[in-house]
């Protein structure tokens, strides 16, 4: 059973009051939860990584709970995303370990959420940034919710670490005006519309 020992966590909460245009009635709120963990597979090839996803499930749930609390509860959270930044001693596939534990944890705690959880992963040096994609939780085609949350940890990931990230938001971009499927048109039946 691999150990993903946590070295450090960070919670980022943003309130976006405007983006060059008029202020909305309510600021858009979004948050990201970061966990810098030891990569038990750094420096070697492990042919069977999938069992390690089970070991990461408690981390996914703990991070999701902190995010939801930071955004004052699940009501109104309508965007999510996830990502992983793997240190130089690892491989991109180590970041893929986060798909199930990170994505399913958010879906479990948010309730109805039919759209795929957007994801990004890469290998990077200490202090590298990661653009975590965001999308609507029930309809992937809602253009107003296409966004990215740029995160980093200045002292990580070290070569033998992984930075796991979850992100959530209330509302789409403050001045969205690109048309397409609007939130009020979402049927939420197939994860697309």
Say if residue 29's pLDDT is above 70: yes
Residue 154 inside a domain? The answer is yes
Domain count across the chain? 1
**Distance in angstroms (rounded) separating the CA atoms of residues 193 and 8:** 38
Say if residue 94's pLDDT is above 60: yes
What confidence tens digit (pLDDT) does each residue in 128-184 have? 999 999 999 998 899 989 999 999 999 999 999 999 999 999 999 888 888 887 877
Average pLDDT over residues 8-27: 90
What confidence tens digit (pLDDT) does each residue in 171-182 have? 998 888 888 878
Residue 100's domain comprises 6-185
Residue 190 inside a domain? The answer is no
What confidence tens digit (pLDDT) does each residue in 31-42 have? 999 999 999 999
Q: Can you list the positions of beta strands (E) in 39-189?
A: 79-86, 119-123, 129-136, 147-152, 161-170
Residue 1 inside a domain? The answer is no
User: Residue written as tokens 């995303």?
Assistant: 81
Residue 19 inside a domain? The answer is yes
Residue 81 inside a domain? The answer is yes
* Confidence band of 1 (pLDDT split at 50, 70, 90): low
What confidence tens digit (pLDDT) does each residue in 50-88 have? 999 999 999 999 999 999 999 999 999 999 999 999 999
Residue 192 inside a domain? The answer is no
Residue 174 inside a domain? The answer is yes
pLDDT at 103: 96
pTM of the complete model: 0.95
Residue 56 inside a domain? The answer is yes
The per-residue pLDDT of the chain, averaged, comes to 93
Average pLDDT over residues 80-101: 97
Here the CATH number for the domain that contains residue 118 is 3.30.1330.110
Q: What is the dihedral of CA 124, 154, 101, 65, to 10 degrees?
A: -160
* Neighbouring residues of 109: CB distance < 8 A, sequence distance ≥ 6: 61, 64, 65, 68, 74
């Amino acid at each position: 059973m691999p150990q993903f020992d946590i070295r450090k966590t960070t919670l980022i909460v943003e309130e976006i009051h405007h983006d060059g245009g008029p202020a909305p009635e309510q600021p858009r709120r979004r948050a990201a939860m970061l966990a810098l963990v030891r990569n038990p597979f750094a420096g070697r090839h492990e042919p069977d990584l999938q069992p390690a996803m089970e070991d990461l499930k408690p981390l996914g749930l703990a991070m999701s709970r902190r995010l939801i609390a930071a955004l004052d509860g699940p009501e109104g959270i309508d965007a999510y995303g996830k990502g992983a930044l793997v240190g130089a001693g690892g491989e991109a596939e180590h970041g893929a370990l986060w798909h199930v534990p990170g994505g399913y944890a958010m879906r479990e705690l948010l309730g109805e959420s039919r759209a795929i959880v957007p994801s990004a992963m890469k290998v990077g040096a200490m202090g590298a940034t990661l653009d975590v994609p965001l999308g609507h939780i029930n309809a992937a085609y809602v253009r107003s919710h296409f966004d990215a949350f740029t995160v980093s940890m200045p002292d990580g990931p070290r070569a033998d670490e992984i930075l796991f990230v979850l992100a959530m938001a209330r509302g789409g971009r403050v001045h969205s005006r690109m048309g397409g499927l609007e939130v009020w048109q979402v049927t939420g039946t197939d994860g697309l519309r």
